Amino acid sequence: MFHKFSSSNLFPLPQKFNTPFSSKVPEVVKVAAREILKYIETIPRLHDAFLPGKMLGVLVVRKGEEIGYIAAYSGNIPDDIKQNSYFVPPVYDLRAASSFFPEEEQKIVKITDDIEYILNSDDYKHAQTDYINLSQKASSVIAEFKQQMELDKKRRDEIREIGDISADVAAKLIKDSQFAKAEYKRLRKHWQQQIENAEACLCCLNHKIDVLRKKRAENSASLQKRLFEQFLFYNALGETRSLIEIFADKQPPAGAGECAAPRLLQYAYLNNLQPIGIGEFWYGNPLGGEVRLHGNFYEACVAKCHPILEFMLQGLDMARDEKQNSADSLKVIYEDDYIIAVDKPHGLLSVPGRNAKQSVVDILKKQKPYCDFYTVHRLDEDTSGVLLLAKSPDMQTRLQKMFACGNVKKKYVAKLSGIPKNKEGIIQLPIRSDYLHRPRQIVDFEKGKPATTQYKISKIFNDNTCEVEFLPYTGRTHQLRVHSAHPDGLSTPIFGDKLYGYSETQSERMMLHAIELSFLHPITQYPLTIISDNPF
């Protein structure tokens, strides 16, 4: 499973191990990844298995005096190609002959089959049909009787209004009224009994289903806990921890420990291979609403891998994260007694972050210590341009309502890494958070929030790139970035966007700039347009 490089041009080896929490990887890792891609293309069955979309990983290692690499895939592949010796094995093989998993899984499958048998049985279908039909018939019969009661009552009232009726007629009218009310009660009681009998039959079957579902949930939880205890991870210090210990304060997510990066490090530690550089890259088509590009490098997933890798990386000489952009002061584009707008540089947070990074708010407080500043909206860390802030809580509330109601028009300019098919148009793709890969966003037509962007290409360059103007009608997180990169959007990532675009780029920044904000001033009610110079 240790592979020697076929290429002699390996570039200088990195002095320190790169972080898997970034899509930026050493050149030697890129060389190894290209060799893995070529290998997969020579195995049609493997290519077909990965083509729907699969995250792969590569770890460049030192074995004695030799430099080589090992490869891994995330998750599972079909059993007939699973034993391919090119890839390192799972940390714990669920399907191994010695594993308890297949037998316990079959027990859960059997419960699921029992549930499906009841749901598809004639008894269950008849019980459902009887309950529905009886409920509908009861409503119809009772409604008709009640309507007739109202007609009879109207007729009796008309007789009484004529006046001068005999005592016998008056008594009969009262008797008819009482009989109708009693008959109505008897009718309701009769149908209620019929419905309750049908409901009891259906409830009996539903109870059996509920018992089976509860048993299945209990068995699944027990099996999952038992599995988590089998996943034992090593780090460079020789220490070991199980998934249960690593996720001590919460339940490990499903699939934890089955990604490529943990598999690679585990194999290296157990086989005396010295890690040099690591990277995870995508193979095949994007899955669902994700934005993934074939052969592109991506950071390790947050929910499943971060806690595991934070333990496994202990003991390695790690390279530091890239420095964040910093500034002593900000260019103020507009200011009055109520609001202030600054020209935010790329690489700077709009508001203070968890890791105490410098932000626009921090710099403004130092730049103008006599003022208070309140966030109205945000720009991504990698996005530059007009950022509006309020000078009081009341003004913050007013402006936030204006943004929420669409009363603030926003205009962005971006450079795209290609030229979209259509020169202008409107993109409507609903977006939600990708919970396993935060802060990434994903297109989801069922659970996503509506997101609409108008675009128009303004310039086309000789290097097959273009400049585009964006007018977002909504303000979803990463909206413009996702709408640009997604296959159902422009299918052309923003130049320099390493999250949704290409990890290999000559740009030091993402080419997205908030160039203009237009709105009615909350106090003066005069139209106000705040413009930042185009930096591209």
Cβ atoms < 10 Å from Cβ of 428: 13
Active site residues: 380
In the block, tokens 């320099």 appear at 496
Which two tokens mark 105?
């899984």
Give the list of residues 6+ apart from residue 281 with CB closer than 8 angstroms, or none. 33, 55, 56, 57, 58, 295, 296, 297, 298
CB < 8 Å & 24+ apart, contacts of 331-334: 333/386, 333/530, 333/531, 333/532, 334/528, 334/530
Residue 385 contacts residue 515 (beta carbons within 8 Å) = yes
How many angstroms separate the CA atoms of 285 and 51, rounded? 6
Tell me the C-alpha to C-alpha distance, in Å, between residue 102 and each of 5, 44, 96, 108: 37, 28, 9, 10
Q: Is 464 left (phi over 0), alpha (psi -120 to 50) or beta?
A: left
Buried/exposed code over 27-66 (b: 16+ C-beta within 10 A; e: otherwise) = ebbbbbbebbbebbeeeeebeebbeeebbbbbbbbeeeee
Surface-to-core class of residue 141, CB atoms within 10 Å of its CB (0-12 exposed, 13-18 middle, 19+ buried): middle
Amino acid at 73: Y
| Coil, helix or strand at residue 49 | helix
Cβ atoms < 10 Å from Cβ of 391: 18
Which two tokens mark 434?
């990708």
Half-sphere exposure of 176 (CA within 13 A, CB side): 16
Q: What angle do CA 334, 394, 396 make, to 5 degrees?
A: 50
Give the list of residues 6+ apart from residue 270 with CB closer than 8 angstroms, or none. 234
